[in-house]
Amino acid sequence: MTDTAALFTGPQPKPWIEAIHAYVPGKSTGSDGRKLIKLSANENPLGTSPSALAAARDAAAASLYPDPGSTALREAIGALHGIDPDRIAMGAGSDELLNLAAQGYAGPGDEVIYVRYGFSVYDIAARRCGSTPVVAPDADFGTDVDALLALVMGRTRVVFIANPNNPTGSYLPRGDIARLHAALPADVLLVIDQAYGEYVAQEDEDGAMALAAEHDNVLVTRTFSKIYGLAGERIGWATGAPPLIATLNRIRLPFNVSNTGQAMALAALGDQQFVESSRIHNAAERAHFVQRIESLGNHGLRPLPSEANFVLILFEGALTAEVAYEGLMQAGYIVRWLPGQGLPQALRITIGARDDMNAIADALAALAEAAR
Ligand SMILES: *Cc1c(COP(=O)(O)O)cnc(C)c1O
């Protein structure tokens, strides 16, 4: 605790709030303030659909409150995914919905489970409602369903899992997701966070949407921040049984998605060509980048298999992740170094444009040579 905190005699936060480490966003500038090419926040390198940008101009006046129910947007999402719009809740980013899911179903004395090297928002979501976060061990940085299930107790209220996972990129196939769900008690909420779901090939789809459609204890969350290129507008959605959706709607902020956000997301949904181009670009450039890193030879750089729009590289040789992180900044790139998430030996790199990925691979090759 700092001296100023010790001297502070004003209102004291709840102890569980004080225990929260605020979310650390991906940076866009170097330590010297220089603007860098940002591959630290898994944003879409292709930008945003032109139709979404055009829709921003036609959005309802800023002086008017938005539609509190995001009706047109929910109907369009429902039509695209074959979901009854009444089974969809909108959020200011899926981050809001993840927090609401914990708040709605867990409180002091309850437990919320997520996996080690899982998405850092789950820890905040668990703590801010006073519940106890329980961290399941990983299996070589991936999700270990059995280890997770072994932690399910009478006090377990919510299980969070991202599929694909951030920051590891790991992916649980349909059978594992089904097994995880089947072993959970009916009164435990399973939240399957599919922020990167659109990057997964259709035939490898994890079955989470079907679980949310058929069972009363599954919420699936999606976002417009990643493949739709609308991270700046803060739009996410969740689907599940109507009572779950009613809980989220009861505690969300009344006007949580702005006029512009609703208009842009609606237009973005209508441009599936942009989504498809983003998916194809990502799959090709991710494969190319991983192949370049693997061809560096015996330098101890290990890219983990990824189904998302980023790759986590483990630095297991002479070149450390910290030195590589600084070196990439010198080369003009900001990526994500994650010592705060227990990954001081790893860098998470968003898949960007071909030239940038080649420049990063070149820089890592030079850094690895220099470290030998
Ligand atoms: C980016 C991300 C999100 C959500 O982002 P929003 O912008 O709040 O929709 C959710 N989960 C994971 C795993 C993510 O990486």
For the Cβ of 195 lying below 6 angstroms from any atom of ligand 1, the answer is: yes
For the Cβ of 225 lying below 6 angstroms from any atom of ligand 1, the answer is: yes
Q: Which atom of ligand 1 is nearest to the CA of 162?
A: 13
CA of 195 to the centre of ligand 1 (A): 5
Q: Provide the pLDDT confidence category of residue 25 given band limits of 50, 70 and 90.
A: confident
CA of 95 to the centre of ligand 1 (A): 6
Alpha helix (H) residue ranges in 29-168: 50-58, 71-81, 93-105, 121-128, 145-149
Burial class (CB in 10 A: 0-12, 13-18, 19+), 304: buried
- Tens digit of pLDDT for each residue in 245-273? 999 999 999 999 999 999 999 999 999 99
Domain ranges of the chain: 13-42+273-371, 50-270
For the Cβ of 111 lying below 6 angstroms from any atom of ligand 1, the answer is: no
- Return the pLDDT at 182: 98
- Return the pLDDT at 5: 61
CA of 156 to the centre of ligand 1 (A): 23
Lowest mean pLDDT, pick from 13-22, 209-218, 235-244, 300-309: 13-22
- Return the pLDDT at 312: 98
Q: Which atom of ligand 1 is nearest to the CA of 193?
A: 11
Lowest mean pLDDT, pick from 4-13, 209-218, 327-336: 4-13
Q: Which atom of ligand 1 is nearest to the CA of 92?
A: 8
For the Cβ of 352 lying below 6 angstroms from any atom of ligand 1, the answer is: no
Q: Which atom of ligand 1 is nearest to the CA of 308?
A: 15
What percentage of the chain exceeds 90 in pLDDT?
92
- Tens digit of pLDDT for each residue in 67-76? 999 999 999 9
- Separation CA 77–CA 286 (nearest Å): 28
For the Cβ of 321 lying below 6 angstroms from any atom of ligand 1, the answer is: no
For the Cβ of 283 lying below 6 angstroms from any atom of ligand 1, the answer is: no
In 3D space, the residue among 241, 235, 171 whose CA is nearest the CA of residue 209 turns out to be 241
CATH topology of domain 50-270: Aspartate Aminotransferase; domain 2 (3.40.640)
- Separation CA 245–CA 5 (nearest Å): 40
Same fold across 13-42+273-371 and 50-270: no
For the Cβ of 166 lying below 6 angstroms from any atom of ligand 1, the answer is: yes
Q: Provide the pLDDT confidence category of residue 298 given band limits of 50, 70 and 90.
A: confident
The yes-or-no verdict on residue 199 having pLDDT over 70 is yes
3-state helix, strand, coil in the chain (%, to 5): 45, 15, 40
Its CATH class, for the domain covering 13-42+273-371, is alpha beta
Question: Which of 191, 206, 225 to probe ligand 1 with, by most ligand atoms within 8 A of CB?
Answer: 225
Q: Provide the pLDDT confidence category of residue 34 given band limits of 50, 70 and 90.
A: confident
Give me the mean pLDDT over the 74-102 stretch. Answer: 98
Q: Rounded to two decimals, what is the model's pTM? A: 0.96
- Tens digit of pLDDT for each residue in 111-141? 999 999 999 999 999 999 999 999 999 999 9
Q: Which atom of ligand 1 is nearest to the CA of 236?
A: 9
DSSP symbol at 153: -
- Return the pLDDT at 32: 79
Q: Provide the pLDDT confidence category of residue 314 given band limits of 50, 70 and 90.
A: very high
- Tens digit of pLDDT for each residue in 146-181? 999 999 999 999 999 999 999 999 999 999 999 999
CA of 121 to the centre of ligand 1 (A): 8
CA of 9 to the centre of ligand 1 (A): 37
In 3D space, the residue among 259, 244, 297 whose CA is nearest the CA of residue 86 turns out to be 244
**Using CA positions, which residue lies closest to atom 14 of ligand 1?**
195
Q: Provide the pLDDT confidence category of residue 337 given band limits of 50, 70 and 90.
A: very high
Structure tokens at 60: 């309802």
Give me the mean pLDDT over the 173-201 stretch. Answer: 98
